[in-house]
Amino acid sequence: MIEEAKNLKPDIDNHPEVAYSDLPEVCHDLPEVVPSDDSGLEVAHPRVAIITIAGVMGGAIGGTRKGHLRHGTNHSSPGLSDGVENNSAIQKGYVYPTAVSWGPGRLDVVGVYDQGLLWHKALVNETWLGWDIISRNIHPQSNVAVISRNPNTLDMLAVGADNAAYWDWVRGNTTTFSVEKQFGIHNSSIESVSLTADRMDSFSLNQAGKLQQRRWSETSNWDADWHVVGNDDGSAEFLFTPTAIQVSVESGGIFLVEAMKLEVYQSTWSTNGSFSVMFRNIGGSCTSRPSILSWAGETIIFCRGKDTKLWSVMSSGADWKPWEQVASSPTMRAEPHAVVFTDDQGAEHLFVFVQTENSYALGRYVLHQSTSSIGSPEWRDMAGTFTGPPRAVVMNLPSPRVYVLGYNGFRNLVVRHIDIINGTFYPSVWQDLGNAVT
């Protein structure tokens, strides 16, 4: 369980340069927590940068490829013996706000404070509404999965203080939330995705580090209980919260980081609940939870590599291209987050947000539909002071806009939006929205 895992944590917080070989053999014993100072609150003084990809790189993300070809696979990846000088510790999970837009001009943000408060705040037509306290019994290390299956509909799942799952929802344009315990024992936060408007799939890791799932539908409500995917009784155990995406109207993908070799595993399921791909190893060496998106029939994965740089891999039909280190990647402190944004001219941009050791960075890529490739990155300074990784969401006003969210040093919610008009980049200033406690 999350709380019990704290007792298994090796003393690495005060030794950030610990070699990878010095980590405990069972890497999943590292909890998903935020390193903190003596007051219990992590303090960082980050700045922000942006990356723009200018040229087409033949389908590969710019940068020097590291790693070696793994026997029996069709990919290369940053391996465990690549001679990387900075073999830093496994990246632990961080707590951050999450957001979703259920329609033009509407943005809903949720998160958990140290006191176990699950909060909600909405943006309506560029005006922020007040704070809502949804629950007071959430685990302070839990992030919140939030999805909108229909306009005026929110579904949220979080891990409670008792390590069970809690489902919170709102129906209609109201701030009245309902809370229902969904049981199970969870060793990670919960990830949810909706393939169709009448169903929802949720995933997490159980006490044994196995992927577990529970499904909901309008007609049959929830499955009887959480179940291990594929009756997995193999030796593989996983780190970090699973990452799920909608691949098409009929299928979804779930991605996990294996605990020992840090390789990424892929599974694919359909709306009828059956899995067409089960735990396919696509390589990599991820020291954070990956961020994954689907675009133009391709799947793109970003993660923090063993060298603390940003790495990526793209699918090519049923196969995967080689893993690549993103050019000019800064040293990353936490997991990345990627979104696709379409500007007013119809051009698509892929934004990757990362937290660096002493700054935030925003990576912007230009996606070319004709070649399904990504151009060269350009990192831009975005300023700010934060205590965890940024999250992003695209909202239509009705023109599209990217909102970037995070916590500052006071654990206040801070937000900034980005517009691209006539090919020009227009970021707003950071706005401090305070918090639900004070």
Dihedral, CA of residue 86, residue 88, residue 93 and residue 97, to nearest 10: -30
Q: Which residue has the higher pLDDT, 11 or 423?
A: 423
Query: What CATH topology corresponds to 2-432?
Result: Neuraminidase (2.120.10)
Closest CA to 351 of 408, 317, 390, 314: 390
**DSSP β-ladder status, 413-421 and 424-427:** antiparallel
Residue found under tokens 């005006």: 127
Structure tokens at 174: 């109201």
Q: How confident is the model over 252-263, as a mean pLDDT?
A: 94
Q: How confident is the model at residue 232 (pLDDT cuts 50, 70, 90)?
A: low
pLDDT of residue 155: 94
Q: How confident is the model over 78-87, as a mean pLDDT?
A: 31
pLDDT of residue 58: 24
235-249, 251-265, 420-434 — which one is most confidently predicted on average?
A: 251-265
Give me the percent of the chain exceeding a pLDDT of 70. 74
Domain residue ranges of the chain, discontinuous segments joined by + = 2-432
> Residue 276: which residues within 8 A CB-CB, separation 6 or more?
251, 268, 269, 270
Question: Which residues is 380 bridged to in the sheet?
Answer: 50, 362
Q: How confident is the model over 318-346, as a mean pLDDT?
A: 88
Tell me the pLDDT tens digit for each residue of 269-279: 988 888 888 89
Q: Which residue has the higher pLDDT, 21 or 330?
A: 330
Q: List the single range of 6-10, 276-280, 429-433 with lowest mean pLDDT.
A: 6-10
Q: Which residue has the higher pLDDT, 10 or 216?
A: 216
